[in-house]
């Protein structure tokens, strides 16, 4: 294959009409076109070389009036190559089956008679979407990032990553603030892995998960005979983390009585085991995290102010997933790669409506909720694709924000007009003034978007 042919984009056309086959084979500039006349030869071509985009005639033989053969071909294609964008081509009286095909996972449909120029626009859009999804998958799965385990593309999280890269080589005490499920422990581990202590232990303890009466001995250890059941000397988490990193998760739940002892350790870098008198020096980096408002707790007397200043030499605020534009989809691909292969099937893609639902959902449980939703959807998915239905994010999520710029612009325009009309109780003249357009222009837009004026 010469260089020019290698640069052509693969396109598979499934069409049983010899005349259309000949016409379509040569009219798509920039594409390497393969043509198949039936289901069997189409699947054989697809197995030999996956095509990013396929056009499929729903009225395949043996009976042009029966679309079942076309639907079966569509299902075969999506089973073999879930990422492939299938554009179904139908007759003028076959719109219902075309919509059904889109429901089964086809990218779009086009009605005959075929205008190659119009069809090429649809093919180009499908190919661009395929490339974008592949790039997102590659970005989500790449291992080149120095922040091991951190997947981010939004400006908000990239700024967090930049701060972490700067502070990691130091031993500065760090406080991570963020809602539950935002990945505070993942970031704490990233700090450890970027530090000179990376070969030493990373020890994590959740202060909220251990009863107050046991937390002190868990942190500081205890001597034999310190209390009933203390049959031997036991090292605490702080001592276990010596030369490494100690991660105190949910430090806002630490009882006041223990906060004073922790403060002394942070100041002096020595501990005393429960029931012991010896001062034991410990060299450890401390990272703390909480989802609570520490400053409010200080005001209520629930957290020591001096301890707060000691643990927050650097404070990093982790944005919730809903504020990380684009990261939800990026993370979804990463989790699909992680959990997509089960004992019964392999799930390799999302439908368009699923991606829109992921993008539009508020994710109150943040990254942890997204991970759990993907794990569930993979189990329930059929035909190798995760749909919006199996994500269970609510019916209102299926439409989502359009990706097409014209649609986005029209949606924003319609919303602005409705807001203006609401402000002035439906007075078109005043609304036109607010919007900076003439009355005739506003009437035209109201008619165009079928806006119901407030009464």
Beta carbons of 141 and 97 less than 8 angstroms apart: no
User: Which of 401, 327, 315, 398 lies closest to 366 in space, CA to CA?
Assistant: 327
Same-domain pairing of 353 and 430:
no
Same-domain pairing of 354 and 292:
no
Identify the pLDDT of residue 286. 97
82 pLDDT higher than 50: yes
* Residue 112 maps to a domain: yes
Beta carbons of 358 and 350 less than 8 angstroms apart: yes
Residues 441 and 443: their CA atoms lie apart, in Å, by: 5
pLDDT tens by residue, 40-71: 888 888 888 888 999 998 776 554 444 467 88
pLDDT tier at 400, thresholds 50, 70, 90:
very low
pLDDT tens by residue, 95-126: 778 888 888 888 988 888 888 889 999 999 99
Same-domain pairing of 182 and 299:
yes
pLDDT tens by residue, 304-349: 999 999 999 999 999 999 999 888 888 998 899 899 887 778 888 8
**Across 145-159, 338-352, 369-383, which has the greatest mean pLDDT?**
369-383
pLDDT tier at 395, thresholds 50, 70, 90:
very low
433 pLDDT higher than 60: yes
Same-domain pairing of 289 and 418:
no
Same-domain pairing of 308 and 160:
yes
Please indicate whether residue 322 or residue 23 has the higher confidence score (pLDDT): 322
* Residue 240 maps to a domain: yes
Please indicate whether residue 432 or residue 296 has the higher confidence score (pLDDT): 296
pLDDT tens by residue, 251-291: 999 999 999 999 999 999 999 999 988 999 999 999 999 99
> Which H or E element spans position 435?
helix 428-435
* Residue 373 maps to a domain: yes
Same-domain pairing of 80 and 112:
yes
pLDDT tens by residue, 157-200: 989 999 999 999 999 999 999 999 999 999 999 999 999 999 99
Q: What is the CATH number of the domain that holds 264?
A: 3.40.50.300
* Residue 359 maps to a domain: yes
Residues 320 and 205: their CA atoms lie apart, in Å, by: 23
* Residue 69 maps to a domain: yes
Q: What is the CATH number of the domain that holds 99?
A: 3.40.50.2300
> Which H or E element spans position 280?
strand 280-281
Instruction: List, in order, residues 6 or more apart from 77 with CB less than 8 Å away.
Output: 42, 43, 46, 54, 56, 84, 86
Same-domain pairing of 135 and 221:
no
What range does the domain containing 106 cover? Answer: 3-141
Q: What is the CATH number of the domain that holds 382?
A: 1.10.8.60
3-state secondary structure 178-196: CCCCCCHHHHHHHHHHCCC
**Placement of tokens 């180009």 in the chain:** 124
Give alpha helix (H) positions in 340-404: 352-360, 366-380, 388-391
**End-to-end Cα distance, the chain:** 68
The token duo for 203 is 């020890």
Angle at 102 between CA 100 and CA 105, to 5 degrees: 115
How many domains is the chain partitioned into structurally? 4
Same-domain pairing of 165 and 313:
yes
Instruction: Mark which of 141, 173, 199 sits at the end of a domain.
Output: 141
pLDDT tier at 11, thresholds 50, 70, 90:
very high
* Residue 150 maps to a domain: no
Beta carbons of 344 and 384 less than 8 angstroms apart: no
Same-domain pairing of 200 and 289:
yes
| Cα four-point dihedral sign 23, 24, 28, 32 | negative
Same-domain pairing of 194 and 249:
yes
**Across 405-409, 422-426, 447-451, which has the greatest mean pLDDT?**
447-451
- Give the mean pLDDT of 353-377: 92
145 pLDDT higher than 50: no
pLDDT tier at 398, thresholds 50, 70, 90:
very low
pLDDT averaged over every residue in the chain? 85
Q: What is the CATH number of the domain that holds 428?
A: 1.10.10
5 pLDDT higher than 60: no
144 pLDDT higher than 50: no
- Give the mean pLDDT of 382-396: 80
Instruction: Mark which of 141, 174, 189 sits at the end of a domain.
Output: 141
3 pLDDT higher than 80: no
Same-domain pairing of 203 and 279:
yes
Same-domain pairing of 296 and 244:
yes
Residues 158 and 213: their CA atoms lie apart, in Å, by: 40
* Residue 453 maps to a domain: no
pLDDT tier at 454, thresholds 50, 70, 90:
low
pLDDT tier at 399, thresholds 50, 70, 90:
very low
pLDDT tens by residue, 346-355: 888 888 788 8
* Residue 326 maps to a domain: no
Of all residues in the chain, the percent with pLDDT exceeding 70 is: 89
Instruction: Mark which of 317, 332, 361 sits at the end of a domain.
Output: 317
This prediction's pTM: 0.61
Residues 95 and 97: their CA atoms lie apart, in Å, by: 6
């Amino acid at each position: 294959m010469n260089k020019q042919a290698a640069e052509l984009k693969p396109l598979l056309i499934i069409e049983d009409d010899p005349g259309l086959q000949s016409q379509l084979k040569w009219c798509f500039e920039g594409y390497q076109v393969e043509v198949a006349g039936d289901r069997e030869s189409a699947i054989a071509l697809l197995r030999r070389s996956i095509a990013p985009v396929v056009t499929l005639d729903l009225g395949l033989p043996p009976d042009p009036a029966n679309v079942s053969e076309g639907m079966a071909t569509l299902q075969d294609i999506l089973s073999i190559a879930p990422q492939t964008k299938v554009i179904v081509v139908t007759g003028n009286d076959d719109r219902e089956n075309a919509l059904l095909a889109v429901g089964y996972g086809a990218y779009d449909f086009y009605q005959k008679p075929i205008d190659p120029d119009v069809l090429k626009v649809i093919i180009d859009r499908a190919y661009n979407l395929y490339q974008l999804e592949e790039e997102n998958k590659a970005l989500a799965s790449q291992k080149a990032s120095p922040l091991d385990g951190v997947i981010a593309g939004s400006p908000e999280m990239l700024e967090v990553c930049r701060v972490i890269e700067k502070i990691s080589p130091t031993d500065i005490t760090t406080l991570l603030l963020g809602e539950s499920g935002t990945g505070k422990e993942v970031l704490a581990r990233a700090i450890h892995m970027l530090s000179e202590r990376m070969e030493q232990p990373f020890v994590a303890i959740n202060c909220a998960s251990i009863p107050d009466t046991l937390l002190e001995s868990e942190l500081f250890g205890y001597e034999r005979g310190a209390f009933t059941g203390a049959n031997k000397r036991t090292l605490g988490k702080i001592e276990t983390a010596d030369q490494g990193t100690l991660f105190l998760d949910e430090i806002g739940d630490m009882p006041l009585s223990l906060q004073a002892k922790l403060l002394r350790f942070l100041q002096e870098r020595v501990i005393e085991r429960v029931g012991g008198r010896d001062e034991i020096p410990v060299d450890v980096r401390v990272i703390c995290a909480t989802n609570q408002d520490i400053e409010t707790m200080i005001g209520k007397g629930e957290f020591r102010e001096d301890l707060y200043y000691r643990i927050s030499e650097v404070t990093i605020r982790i944005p919730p997933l809903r504020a990380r534009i684009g990261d939800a989809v990026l993370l979804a691909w990463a989790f699909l790669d992680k959990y997509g292969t089960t004992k019964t099937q392999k799930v390799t893609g999302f439908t368009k409506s699923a991606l829109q639902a992921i993008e539009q959902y508020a994710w109150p449980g943040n990254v942890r909720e997204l991970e759990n939703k993907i794990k569930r959807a993979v189990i329930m998915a059929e035909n190798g694709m995760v749909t919006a239905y199996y994500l269970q994010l609510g019916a209102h999520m299926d439409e989502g924000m359009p990706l097409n710029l014209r649609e986005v612009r029209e949606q924003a325009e319609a919303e602005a007009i409705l807001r203006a009309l609401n402000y002035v109780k439906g007075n078109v003249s005043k609304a036109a003034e607010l919007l900076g357009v003439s009355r005739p222009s506003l009437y035209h837009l109201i008619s165009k978007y079928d806006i119901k004026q407030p009464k």
